[in-house]
Chain A
Amino acid sequence: MYLVEEATQLADKVFQMWIHAPQVARHARAGQFLILRIDETGERIPITISAVKGDSVRVIFMTIGKTTEHLSTLKKGDALRDVVGPLGKPSEIRKYGTVVVIGGGVGVASTPIIAREAKEAGNHVIGIIGARNKDLLLLEDEMKEICDELFITTDDGSKGIHGFASTVLEQLLKERELGCVWIIGPAIMMKVTSGVTKPYGVKTFVSLNPIMVDGTGMCGSCRVTVGGETKFACVDGPEFDAHQVDFGGLMQRQRMYVDEEKEALEHFHHPHGGCGCCGGEH
Chain B
Amino acid sequence: MTDVSEHVTDFNEVNKGLSEENAVLEALRCMNCVRPSCVKGCPVCIDIPAFVEKVANRDFAGAVGVVKENNMLPAICGRVCPQETQCEGSCILARKEKPVSIGALERFVADWEREHGVKTPEVAAPTGKKVAVVGSGPAGLTAAAELARMGHSVTVFESLHAAGGVLMYGIPNFRLPKEIVQAEIEQVKALGVEIKLNHLVGRSVSTEELLAYDAVFLGTGAGLPYFMGIEGENLCGVYSANEFLTRVNLMHANCFPGFDTPVKRGAKVVVAGGGNVAMDAARVARRLGAEVTLVYRRREEDLPARAVEVTNAQAEGVNFVCCANPVQVLGEKTVSGVECVRMEMCELDASGRPKPSCIEGSNFVLEADVFIEAIGQGPNPLLVSMLPALTRERRGNVIVDEDGQTTIARVYAAGDVATGAATVIWAMGSAKKAAAAIDRMLRAE
List the interface of chain A (C-beta within 8 A of B).
23-24, 27, 32, 37, 41-44, 66-67, 81-87, 213-214, 216-221, 223, 225, 230, 235, 249, 252-253, 255-257, 260-261, 263-264, 266-267, 274-278, 282
Give every chain B residue within 8 A of A223 (Cβ-Cβ): 227, 234
Residue of A nearest to B198 (CB): A84
A86-B204 in contact given A41-B259, A43-B261, A235-B382 (Cβ < 8 Å): yes
Question: CA of A23 to CA of B161 in the docked complex: distance in angstroms?
Answer: 14
* Inter-subunit contact A264/B257 (CB<8 Å): yes
Chain A residues with Cβ below 8 Å from B206 are: 27
- Cβ distance A29 to chain B, nearest Cβ, rounded Å: 10
Q: A213-B243, A217-B380 in contact; A264/B256 too (CB < 8 A)?
A: yes
Q: Is the CB of A219 within 8 A of B243?
A: yes
Binds A, one of B17-25, B118-126, B246-254, B352-360: B246-254
Indicate if the CB atoms of A24 and B246 lie closer than 8 Å.
no
B contact residues, total (Cβ < 8 Å) = 46
Cβ of B160 < 8 Å from any Cβ of A? Answer: yes
Is the Cβ of A41 less than 8 Å from the Cβ of B260?
Answer: yes
B224 touches A217 (CB 8 A): yes
A44 B261 Cβ-Cβ under 8 A: yes
A41 touches B252 (CB 8 A): yes
B225 contacts which chain A residues (CB < 8 A)? Answer: 218-220
Query: In chain B, what residue has the closest Cβ to A275?
Result: B258
7 A-B Cβ contacts within 8 A? Answer: A43-B261, A84-B199, A86-B204, A230-B229, A256-B334, A263-B257, A275-B256
Distance in angstroms from B374 CB to nearest chain A CB is 12
- Evaluate contact between A220 and B243: CB separation under 8 angstroms: yes
Contact A214 B236 (CB under 8 A): no
Interface residues in B193-219 (C-beta closer than 8 Å to A): 197-200, 203-206
Interfacial chain B residues near A43, Cβ < 8 Å:
251, 259-261
Chain A residues, CB < 8 A from B10: 277
Asked if A218 contacts B204 (CB within 8 A), the reply is: no
B255–A282 contact, CB under 8 A?
yes
B262 on interface, CB distance cutoff 8 Å:
yes
Partner of A219, one of B198, B242, B259, B262: B242
Q: Which residue of A lies closest to B381 (CB)?
A: A217
* B234 contacts A230, C-beta separation under 8 Å: yes
Q: Is B333 an interface residue (CB 8 A)?
A: yes
Question: Does B242 lie within 8 Å of A84, measured CB to CB?
Answer: no
A249 (CB) vs chain B CBs: closest residue: B234
* B377-421 interface (Cβ within 8 A of A): 380-382
Cα of A54 to Cα of B258 in the assembled complex, Å: 36
A256-B259 contact, Cβ under 8 Å, with A44-B251, A218-B224, A225-B234? no
Q: Do A256 and B236 touch across chains, with their CB atoms under 8 A apart?
A: yes
Q: Whole-angstrom distance from the CB of A125 to the nearest CB of chain B?
A: 26
Q: Which of A27, A32, A42, A277 contacts B11 (CB 8 A)?
A: A277
Residues of B within 8 A of A83 (CB): 198
Q: Indicate if the CB atoms of B258 and A252 lie closer than 8 Å.
A: no
B158 to chain A: closest residue by CB: A84
Alpha-carbon separation in the docked complex, A235 to B20 (Å): 49
> Which of A216, A225, A261 has most chain B Cβ within 10 Å?
A216
| B224 contact set on A, CB distance < 8 A | 217-218
Interface: B363 (CB within 8 A)? no
User: CA–CA, A214 to B220, complex, Å?
Assistant: 14
Q: Which residues of the other chain, A, contact B205 by a CB distance below 8 angstroms?
A: 23
A277 with B254: CB separation less than 8 A: yes
Identify which of B223, B233, B334 contacts A217 (C-beta below 8 A).
B223
